[in-house]
Amino acid sequence: MKKFKWILLFIVACISTDALALEFSPYLLQKLNRIYEIKTQGRTPVAIFDLDETVINTDQRMLLSTLAALPDMASRYPQEVQLTSQVTIADFRALENSYSVEELLQGLGVTNGRFIQELAERRLNIYLSPEYVSADTSIHCANHWVRALFDLGTKVYFVSSRYLSLQGQETVNSLFQNGFIRESDDFAVLLRPDGMGSIEFKRASFQYITDRLGPAHAPDAEVAFVFENEPENINAMVEYFPLADAFFIPGAFVQDEPLKSSIVRLPTESYCQ
């Protein structure tokens, strides 16, 4: 037990004062020992993060996309558009699944199925465009958690199903602006090529990362942590990286499915105490 405490103190001393001031949850702080262990073995620790609703809060982009979709629908659905235009950021935060148009509109008293379907399609097209990416923010403390990992010598992969052609530049700008990355960091941003399915892209990315860890019998690097908000994606990550601690951030998903038993649910407010 004494040795454990010493290791923890050593790690705490290595993290920048900025990050410490925010007080990571004791659970995550303990997990940093894994980074230390991998480094003492002479290997590079690796962490993999999804972006939207894993470390990036896109509620504001979703709200702006919803509002921007309404004017073209106003003549055909006057009552529904009037009700939907009253949506606020607080409405998104109250949802069980913040990606669900049905759940959002139910709360606003809108039940017209055709309207809901058309709004969902129009909103998604705007949401996936470059238009409002700059409105994204860090999930509370997630940027400081990522910075702590960089400070300890971790290589970080950001793997997101955002399309490279539509949001590539805006995504990198947003990671800089929200304090996730600096020029000198060891990071890579992997985004989806046009025409590729989301899970196919994620699996291809996990294989790409696996191929870069070094020879299987003596890898130069080890994936310590993986973070995701989509059940399908985190389940795939556990397959590719069985030794990593896998964290699932609940609250927004495109497709639900049961989580594999080794995965830890980490509510968004849990990056810090």
Closest separation in Å from C-beta 52 to Mg ion: 4
Q: Are 15 and 124 in contact (CB under 8 A)?
A: no
Q: Are 184 and 151 in contact (CB under 8 A)?
A: no
User: Closer to Mg ion at the Cβ: 152 or 191?
Assistant: 191
From CA 8, how far away is CA 12, in angstroms rounded? 6
Closest separation in Å from C-beta 171 to Mg ion: 12
Closest separation in Å from C-beta 26 to Mg ion: 26
User: Closer to Mg ion at the Cβ: 91 or 230?
Assistant: 230
User: Closer to Mg ion at the Cβ: 19 or 101?
Assistant: 101
State the DSSP H helix or E strand holding residue 18, giving kind and residue range, or none if neither.
helix 17-21
Closest separation in Å from C-beta 136 to Mg ion: 12
Q: Are 269 and 249 in contact (CB under 8 A)?
A: no
Closest separation in Å from C-beta 230 to Mg ion: 6
Q: CB atoms < 10 A from the CB of 239, how many?
A: 10
Question: If you write DSSP's letter for every residue of 223-261 in order, what string do you get?
Answer: EEEEEES-HHHHHHHHHH-TTSEEEE--S--SS--PPPT
Residue 197 structure tokens = 């399915």
Residue in the shown chain whose Cβ atom is closest to Mg ion? 52
Q: CB atoms < 10 A from the CB of 228, how many?
A: 25
Cβ neighbourhood burial of 172 (10 Å; 0-12, 13-18, 19+): middle
User: Closer to Mg ion at the Cβ: 44 or 229?
Assistant: 229
Closest separation in Å from C-beta 204 to Mg ion: 17
User: Closer to Mg ion at the Cβ: 53 or 59?
Assistant: 53
User: Closer to Mg ion at the Cβ: 50 or 118?
Assistant: 50
List residues bridging with 155 in a β-sheet: 46
Catalog residues that contact Mg ion under the rule CB under 5 A. Answer: 50, 52-54, 229
Closest separation in Å from C-beta 270 to Mg ion: 16
**Three-class HEC string of 185-200:** CCEEEEEECCCCCHHH
User: Closer to Mg ion at the Cβ: 58 or 84?
Assistant: 58
